[in-house]
Amino acid sequence: MFEENTDYANCSDTDDLVKWFWNVFNAFNYEDKKAYMNFVSGKSRCMHVLEKARFFKRHRIVKKSDKPEGDVPTSKPSDFELVLASSYASQDQLKEKLLEAISKGCGLEPDRD
């Protein structure tokens, strides 16, 4: 459901980088997915809006050619956007960098559960 509600910029759902992202995301446990939602949206409770009819904003993945290879992903919470480097050496490196970024947070105060 979440993957179906994602748009892409400078990449597509058939790119290896995007496939790696979805492999990594789908392997996340609930807490990691919740932390990811906080990272890209500033709200950890976005998991509750993953039902198709309730999406308020589409998730967006952007590949930036000006980010150094293997750079830590960033987010733009106001746009529910994940910004990735143009390439990573492997799916494992993408996972490592994504978890690093998530652990730093998006800079917004997280929701209280």
In a domain, 111, yes or no: no
When the pLDDT of each residue in the chain is averaged and rounded to a whole number, the result is 84
State the pLDDT at residue 56.
66
In a domain, 112, yes or no: no
More confident residue, 113 or 28: 28
Domain span including residue 68: 3-104
More confident residue, 99 or 105: 99
- The count of structural domains within the chain is 1
For the segment 11-58, what is each residue's pLDDT rounded down to a tens digit?
Answer: 999 999 999 999 999 999 999 998 998 899 887 665 444 444 455 678
State the pLDDT at residue 44.
64
Helix (H, G, I), strand (E, B) or coil at 60: strand
State the pLDDT at residue 4.
86
CATH code of the domain covering residue 81:
3.30.2410.10
State the pLDDT at residue 108.
45
State the pLDDT at residue 78.
82
81: CB partners within 8 A, 6+ apart: 40, 59, 60, 61, 62, 75
> What integer is the mean pLDDT of 59-86?
91
